[in-house]
Amino acid sequence: MTTVSTSTSLSAVRQEVERIFKLQKANQQKIANTTANDRRKKLDRLHKAVLKYRQEIKEALYNDFRKHPAEVDLGDIYPVTSEIKHTRNYLSRWMRKKQVDTPMAQMGTSSYIHYEPKGVVLIIAPWNFPINLTFGPLVSAIAAGNCIMVKPSEHTPHASAVMKKIINELFDESEIALVEGGVEVSTELLKLPFNHIFFTGAPEIGKIVMKAAAENLASVTLELGGKSPTIIDKTANLNDAAHRIAWGKWINNGQVCISPDHVFVHEEVADKFLEKVKAKLKEFYGEDPSATNSYNRIVNNKHFKRVEGYFEEALSKGANVEFGGKTDASQDYIGPTIMTDVPENSDLSEKEIFGPILPVYKFKDLQEVIDRINSNEKPLGLYIYSNSRKNINQIINNTRAGGTCINHNLIHFLNHNLPFGGSNNSGIGKGNGFYGFEAFSNPRAVLKVWSPFFVLDLLTAPYTAFKQKLIDFTIKWL
Ligand code: NAD
């Protein structure tokens, strides 16, 4: 396995990624021919390695952005180990020929879907859950029988170094290669004619990836982001809502693609909700969140400045700080913060926050909230806290979103039986479980004629009156 460092010159980067790509192209048929058992063995080795390096991974992520070890277990280790267990359990079933029905007009044939690997694929990952969002798609790509090039984020170098070590130990570069580096390395990789590109990151970068993929007509899975709203109606259990939102918003310092970006709460229960969520924050992080190691930091100064800028701008436009608002640039620290009266024409209301600030908007009429959500891009996640079936149905049937939790947030990601991904601006295609396997596979249609007589064979030129009658019959009855 080879790594390419950012200090290497651009032409050296190009040569190196081209060299690995060629090796993988030459090897792809051998990897495609592997059985479910062969692929399970690879997944088992990866599983063992993730557990073997668990402590090192935790230290790496603490060094990268002070991620608490328990959050590494919950957000990086467990999603990967559970994805591997799920995939190994179902893999034979997914790889099996999938018989499909035969239409009457094709009597005498049988058909099935054969899932074949796409070939040589590229995975580009972000920094916020570096192990989870690199190894998660890797599990699916291995399961589907591909050769794989992986580019983790340059913003979490310690995590990348451990992943590099793991992949180095387990795989030959002609099968799986991890390539380190930033935008310039990504750009070189994107010029290569991969058969599939699985990208996780920001919508604007997703557009760059899709344009590059179009040059080679490579298929893409784009796992993107955006603003994921939460709605709390007046029937909601406010204790649960406060507890779960305090967890879902501030885990990983709000740097979660499906984090509850902002909250719409019914005006009759808004004050109670605010009181409860503030109490929860004190319970979780104490009086001074900067003093607890349970509270992460913003990944780097660039993102610190971005989020701080949103905060300052909202303040200058009249927003109110309900809780927190403390920052420390020397540590890339922004304390858990809740704001109300945030104007619609502010960055906090318009851009993905991806940080520890929660704008809370009060509402009277549910339809107004639905209209406001629908006036924005389709979100990756939409969360509903309610005990009213009518309200829940009204929201689900009248909005669009990649995924929804009712009376919770984030946890739909952890059910590997559900597709994970967005819609349009929040993503294209799905990952996790079977959907990840499918993303890295081509569902090839196979039809076999087994009968000596096949009715469609009669419908060839010359088109006599008798044949026209047969065609008419087919259109009318079959
Ligand atoms: P990013 O898009 O800046 O970076 C992601 C990857 O793309 C990195 O490996 C980076 O090196 C590469 N990259 C950056 N600029 C590039 C360019 N111009 N050309 C080619 N490659 C480029 O995202 P990020 O800051 O790492 O992560 C934050 C974003 O990712 C947020 O928008 C968040 O919502 C989203 N996200 C989505 C998911 C999901 O599963 N849908 C998960 C995590 C994060």
Kindly write down the DSSP assignment for every residue of 194-228, as one continuous string: -SEEEEES-HHHHHHHHHHHHHHT-EEEEE-----
Distance 303 CA to ligand 1 centre (A): 13
Quote the percentage of the chain above a pLDDT of 90: 97
Residue 145 pairs in a beta bridge with: none
How does strand 219-223 pair with strand 333-334? unpaired
Nearest atom within ligand 1 for CA of residue 201? 30
Contacts of 463 by beta carbon, 8 Å cutoff, 6+ apart: 471
**pLDDT score recorded for residue 1:** 43
Asked if 234 and 206 sit in the same domain, the reply is no
Structure token digits, residue 407: 């009376």
- CA contacts within 13 A on the Cβ side of 96: 7
Ligand 1 atom closest to the Cα of residue 226 is: 34
**Domain check: are 203 and 308 in the same one?**
no
Structural contact between residues 91 and 434, judged by C-beta atoms closer than 8 angstroms = no
pLDDT at 7: 52
Q: Which residues are paired to 112 by β-bridges? A: 99, 446
Across the strands, what pairs with 303? Answer: none
Residue 116 lies in a domain: yes
Write the CATH number for 204: 3.40.605.10
Residues 248, 382, single domain; the answer is: yes
3-state secondary structure of 75: helix
**Are residues 246 and 217 part of one domain?**
no
- Rg over alpha carbons for the chain, rounded to the nearest Å, is 25
User: Which runs of E-coded beta strand occur in 37-106?
Assistant: 98-100
Residue 193 to residue 215: CA distance in whole angstroms? 8
Same domain, 115 and 143: yes
Supply the CATH number for residue 308's domain. 3.40.309.10
Cα torsion 210, 196, 189, 3 to 10°: value is: 140
- Domain total of the chain: 2
Q: How far apart are CA 230 and CA 241, in angstroms?
A: 10
Q: Identify whether 223 is a catalytic site residue.
A: yes
pTM of the model: 0.96
Choice from 194, 200, 207, 377 to test ligand 1 binding pocket (greatest atom count within 8 A of CB): 200
Calculated CA dihedral for residues 23, 25, 26, 32, nearest 10 degrees: 120
DSSP E strands: which ranges in 273-412? Answer: 320-323, 327-328, 333-334, 337-340, 357-363, 381-385, 403-406
Convert 136-164 into a string of H (helix), E (strand) and C (coil). Answer: HHHHHHHHCCCEEEEECCCCCHHHHHHHH
CA of 183 to the centre of ligand 1 (A): 10
C-alpha–C-alpha distance, residues 230 and 382, integer Å: 6
Residues 38 and 116 in one domain: yes
In a domain, 454, yes or no: no
Compute, in angstroms, the gap from residue 447 CA to the centroid of ligand 1.
41
The CA 16 to ligand 1 mean position distance, Å, reads: 23
Residues 168 and 245 in one domain: no
- Strand pairing class (320-323; 337-340): antiparallel
Q: Show Cβ contacts of residue 34 under 8 Å, excluding neighbours closer than 6 positions.
A: 145
Do residues 160 and 233 both lie within one domain? no
Residues with CB under 6 A from ligand 1: 124-128, 133, 151, 153-154, 182-183, 186-187, 200-202, 205, 208, 223-225, 257, 352, 354, 380, 427
- CA pair distance 405, 324, nearest whole angstrom: 27
pLDDT given for residue 8 in this prediction: 56
Choose, from 71, 188, 223, 438, the residue flagged as catalytic. 223
Q: How far apart are CA 448 and CA 465, in angstroms?
A: 30
Nearest ligand 1 atom to the CA of 181 is 11
On whether the CB atoms of residues 68 and 186 are closer than 8 A, the answer is: no
The length of the chain, given as a count of residues: 478
456 inside domain: no
Q: How many CB atoms lie within 10 A of CB 287?
A: 7
**Ligand 1: which of 186, 190, 222, 432 to mutate, judged by most atoms within 8 Å of the beta carbon?**
186
The answer as to whether 80 is a domain residue is: yes
Q: Which two tokens stand for residue 189?
A: 């990789």
Examine the domain organization and report whether 53 and 171 are in the same domain. Answer: yes
Domain assignment of residue 448, yes or no: no
Q: What is the mean pLDDT of the chain?
A: 96
Count of CA atoms in the C-beta half-sphere (13 A) of 118: 25
* CA of 388 relative to ligand 1 center, distance in Å: 37
State yes or no: is 257 an active-site residue.
yes
Question: Is residue 402 in a domain?
Answer: yes
pLDDT tens-digit series, residues 203-248:
999 999 999 999 999 999 999 999 999 999 999 999 999 999 999 9
Summarize the chain as % helix, strand, coil (round to 5): 50, 20, 30
Atom 13 of ligand 1 has which residue's CA nearest to it? 183
Atom of ligand 1 nearest to the CA of 299: 25
What does DSSP assign to residue 273? Answer: H
**Distance (Å) from CA 125 to ligand 1 centroid:** 7
- pLDDT at 2 (0 to 100): 47
Tell whether 464 is covered by a domain. no
The residue whose CA has the least distance to atom 12 of ligand 1 is 183
User: For the sheet containing 229-232, what is the strand order?
Assistant: 320-323, 337-340, 357-363, 262-266, 229-232, 381-385, 403-406
- Token pair listed for 346: 């502010």
CA distances from 265 to 237, 365, 367, 386, 459 (A): 12, 10, 13, 11, 64
The residue whose CB lies within 8 Å of the most ligand 1 atoms, and thus the one to mutate among 257, 424, 426, is 257
User: Within this chain, do residues 61 and 93 fall inside the same structural domain, yes or no?
Assistant: yes
Interval between CA 203 and ligand 1 midpoint (Å): 8
Evaluate whether residue 195 is within a structural domain: yes
- Residues of the chain where predicted confidence (pLDDT) is lower than 50: 1-3, 5-6
- Domain range for 366 is 229-419
Cis omega before residue 203 (within 30°)?
no
Task: Give the C-alpha distances (Å, rounded to integers) separating 444 from 28, 103, 157.
Answer: 17, 18, 39
Atom of ligand 1 nearest to the CA of 205: 2
Check whether residue 312 and residue 360 sit in a common domain.
yes
H-run or E-run covering 116: strand 109-117
The whole-number pLDDT of residue 171 equals 98
Ligand 1 pocket test, pick from 5, 153, 425, 435 with the greatest ligand atom count within 8 Å of Cβ, gives 153
Q: Are residues 27 and 150 in the same domain?
A: yes
